Amino acid sequence: MTRLLTNLRETTALRRLLAGAALGAAAFCAPAFAQTAAAPEAPAAALTEGQRGAAEAAARLAEGLATGRPGAETDDPVILEAPEPNARRVYVNDPAHFAAITQQFVIDGDSGRILGMIDGGFLPNPVVASDGSFFAQASTVFKRVARGQREDYVEVFDARTHYPIADITLPEEPRMLVGTYPWMTALTPDDKTLLFYRFSPSPSVGVVDLEAKEYRGIFDVPDCYHIFPVSADTFYMHCRAGTMAKITMGEGEPQISESEVFHTEEEYLINHPAYSPKSGRLVWPAYDGKLFQVDLTTEGAKFLPPLQTFTDAEKAEGWALGGWQQAAYHRPSDRIYILADQRAQWRHKTSSRFVFVVDARTGQRIKRIDLGYEADSINVSQDSPHQLYVLSTGEKAMRVLDPETGAVLHRIDQLGHGPQVITTADY
Amino acid sequence: MLKNSRFDDLFEALSRRVASRTSRRGFIGRVGAVAAGVAVSPLLPVDRRGRVSRAEAAPAAGDARAKWVPQDNDIHACDYWRHCSIDGNICACSGGSLTNCPPGTQLATSSWVASCYNPTDGNSYIIAYRDCCGKNVSNRCPCLVTEGELPVYRPEFANDIIWCFGADNDEMTYHCTIAPIIGKAG
């Protein structure tokens, strides 16, 4: 690097570059060049990618000036836009271990490239439109970083520019602050309304009209959690009693009815079920791998016969779910993906090294993918053929896999401090 | 933000309402435990079935999936027995102690509970974990221990929730967690 720059300084081109008042950037470069030239020489191989790029750009610029064709090879910086969104646009949320300031990374699953990122506050809940045209988050910030006046808000971003296209303040500090659960905040299938959960002072659901960019209000619900929309005005929740509550919003009080009990008290359902608003299929595993499935419609909840991820022999060997986002559902192929490993009881949140693929119709195991590394969250794209996304919180890395072969297509590193949640569109 | 008394009322009403619908689930005590926090939890019939961590098998070295085995020597370690259901940061590592918050934080009045086994005296105790709030996360001594930890629809045993309810100045950011005993699990 130093040798290159020293040579450059001896050329007429560089002298012109340093003296070029018309090029504002050159004036800033001059002291840096002088400083670098005085430093001990370093082998070219030691250059970082950034240093090499800067040197090459400087050389191109100098060459252009020397040949009397300034501008022919010059850079013309712009602000990029992300490509048109598709089913393989992946959003990785990093709650940064309960930090007050967080990030969400936007990734192209095809190239394995980071397209951009957005900032969030305390434990934001991400959502993405069914056609991928926008993504949004319900978030919380405080006036003095981690203390002072609290403000809850919904922020909507254009999928290409990543600029906010709506910023809606939620009055009364209503959001439930909990380790990020994908279905504690949800979009209705028409992408026009965002629903979010409130825990205190009483279980409630808040309504945000994204079209009008307005907060509509909040109403009490029974002792129920999670939000699974099936239409513009109807959604379901799972209740403590082991039922599903159907809630229909209208002009007056919402209409609420509860289904039959579909799981026992000892069948502990994980906090991160998989749900397809497009089909209404809810896939909800229990800690031990029992798979509950419910087809949700505006008419009612239809409970399918439960399946098992593991055989009795495997259960005896300690096979069980584990991680954060432990289940995914691929609607076109009707397949369930489960993150699991052998573990002791009550280790249900520690990472896993295997993905089990189960036919959602028959319960037949299609395959078991041996990842060979620790994984905390999984999700899939909804196209065909599709991609499997595997997130390692500890490594701060996401891998893009071919779900048929288990081959790693891409690995994306440096995803913040403790990335936990993968969001994809229900295309 | 609600203070403790209103929070109590909420859960009392809530538990009665839901219990009246679903008699097969005896969860009034569990809801009461989280609602009332330190003041009355020892009096309530906390469900401790299968939720006491007992050292019966040695864990594989460094295996986070192996059975959690509590120790009674180092309060700064995640396997200290009182930390049997902590998901967060140990306050003793950031200026607090096992039972007190660090300077400058705000002590929440609400809590989630767990029954933790003390290997020294062979007894189990009810721990009401309380969050110290109003500062950014301490990032020191992070732990994820889930002995008896239940899903969010059983919030009194769920440790993903930010339990900063009742903290002074309504502070809701999470800094760290303390682990006071509120009773013997028996």
Interface predicted TM-score (ipTM) of this complex, two decimals: 0.83
User: How far apart are alpha carbons A267 and A151 in whole angstroms?
Assistant: 37
What strands, in cross-sheet order, belong to the sheet with A421-423? A113-120, A102-108, A89-94, A421-423
Domains, chain B, ordered by start: 45-56+67-184 (2.60.30.10)
Confidence of residue A46 (pLDDT cuts 50, 70, 90): low
CA A177 to each of CA A352, B3, B64, B108, B163: distance values in angstroms, whole numbers, following the listed order: 26, 17, 26, 14, 9
The pTM (predicted TM-score) of the whole model is 0.83
pLDDT digits (tens, 9 = 90+) for A345-366: 999 999 999 999 999 999 999 9
Instruction: Tell me which residue in A122, A240, A348 faces B146 most closely, judged by beta carbons.
Output: A348
Q: What is the pLDDT of residue A47?
A: 74
Query: Exposed/middle/buried for A43, CB within 10 Å: 0-12, 13-18, 19+?
Result: exposed
Tokens of residue A4, six digits: 């290159």
Q: Which residues in chain A (174-193) have CB-CB distances under 8 A to chain B?
A: 176-179, 181
Domain A89-423 sits in CATH at 2.130.10.10
Backbone angles phi, psi at A46, to 5 degrees: -85, -5
The residue ranges of every structural domain in chain A are 6-79, 89-423
Q: Report whether pLDDT(A265) > 50.
A: yes
Nearest to A415 by CA among A94, A107, A63, A59: A94
pLDDT digits (tens, 9 = 90+) for B39-80: 333 333 333 333 443 333 344 457 899 999 999 999 999 999
Minimal Cα distance from A345: which residue of B? B67
Query: What is the distance in angstroms between the Cα of A192 and the nearest Cα belonging to chain B?
Result: 27
Q: What is the pLDDT of residue A143?
A: 96
Confidence of residue B33 (pLDDT cuts 50, 70, 90): very low
Instruction: Tell me which residue in A271, A344, A345 faces B151 most closely, judged by beta carbons.
Output: A271
Q: Are strands A301-308 and A319-321 parallel, antiparallel or unpaired?
A: unpaired
Nearest to B182 by CA among B113, B119, B136: B113
Confidence of residue B161 (pLDDT cuts 50, 70, 90): very high
Q: Which residues of A touch B162 (CB under 8 A)?
A: 98, 123, 177-178
Query: Exposed/middle/buried for A88, CB within 10 Å: 0-12, 13-18, 19+?
Result: buried
Q: Which residue's entry shows tokens 């299929």?
A: A281
pLDDT digits (tens, 9 = 90+) for B136-158: 999 999 999 999 999 999 999 99
DSSP A128-165: E-TTSSEEEEEEEEEEETTEEEEEEEEEEEETTT--EE
Q: What is the pLDDT of residue B120?
A: 97
Q: Which residues of B touch A225 (CB under 8 A)?
A: 152-153
Q: Which residues of A touch B93 (CB under 8 A)?
A: none
Q: What is the pLDDT of residue A56?
A: 78
Percent of chain A's residues with pLDDT above 70: 86
DSSP A292-308: EEEEE-SS-EEEEEEEE
Q: In this structure, are residues B113 and B160 in contact, taking their beta carbons and an 8 Å threshold?
A: no
